[in-house]
Amino acid sequence: MLRGGKSALLEELRRRGYATVEEPGRRVVKEQLLSGGTALPWQDGVAFARYCIALAVSDRKSARRQQGRWVFFDRGLIDASVALQHLTGEPTLAAIRQSQRYHRRVFLAPPWAEIYVTDRERRHSLDMGIAEYQRLVDAYPALGYEMTVLPKIGVAERAEFHSAHIGR
């Protein structure tokens, strides 16, 4: 199987010595499936998004301990806030505009049909992924972030592209 998405890139960055944080959504889904919970995106999307927000805030606090070191997140607070705002109309993005900042440069992995797969934890369709990606493309610049879209190339090449853009 060809792999070159976000999670594969984060695995490669971790292998290269960077600190990384696993996607909150996958962790929530795993925990909810194990416990029989209902905070799942296909069952209760609002509860799922709120749980992801809480986990992302905790992740950011933990990452602050990595002083002087790059920490890369596989999704996070903004992604979860965009999802909650989309589902409820609540102004969640306005609430995090200044108080919950990441580094100004954000790397986005565009939807890639050739490698897109669903699994037990990711059940949404490629079309839903594309719609979500577009919401993120709109949200990040509106929050003052500089977006760099990752090219659709192999994992090692993506890691090199990424490293070149952070100056390492």
User: Do residues 113 and 2 touch, judged by C-beta distance below 8 A?
Assistant: no
> Cα separation of 157 and 59, whole Å?
27
Question: Confidence band (pLDDT; 50, 70, 90) for 139?
Answer: very high
> Cα separation of 111 and 24, whole Å?
19
User: Do residues 126 and 111 touch, judged by C-beta distance below 8 A?
Assistant: yes
> Cα separation of 7 and 129, whole Å?
15
Question: Confidence band (pLDDT; 50, 70, 90) for 136?
Answer: very high
Q: What is the tens place of the pLDDT at every residue in 38-83?
A: 999 999 999 999 999 999 999 999 988 887 788 999 999 999 999 9
- Residues 6 or more apart whose CB falls under 8 angstroms from that of 138 comprise none
Question: Confidence band (pLDDT; 50, 70, 90) for 160?
Answer: very high
What SS3 class is residue 39? coil
How many other C-beta atoms can be found within 10 angstroms of the C-beta atom of residue 166?
A: 13
More confident residue, 97 or 125: 125
Q: By percentage, how much of the chain surpasses pLDDT 70?
A: 96
Write down the pTM of the prediction. Answer: 0.89
**Tell me, what's the pLDDT at 4?**
52
**Tell me, what's the pLDDT at 22?**
92
Domains of the chain: 6-163 (3.40.50)
**Tokens at residue 142, please?**
């509106």
Measure the CA dihedral 111/114/119/122, to 10°: 10
Question: Confidence band (pLDDT; 50, 70, 90) for 1?
Answer: very low
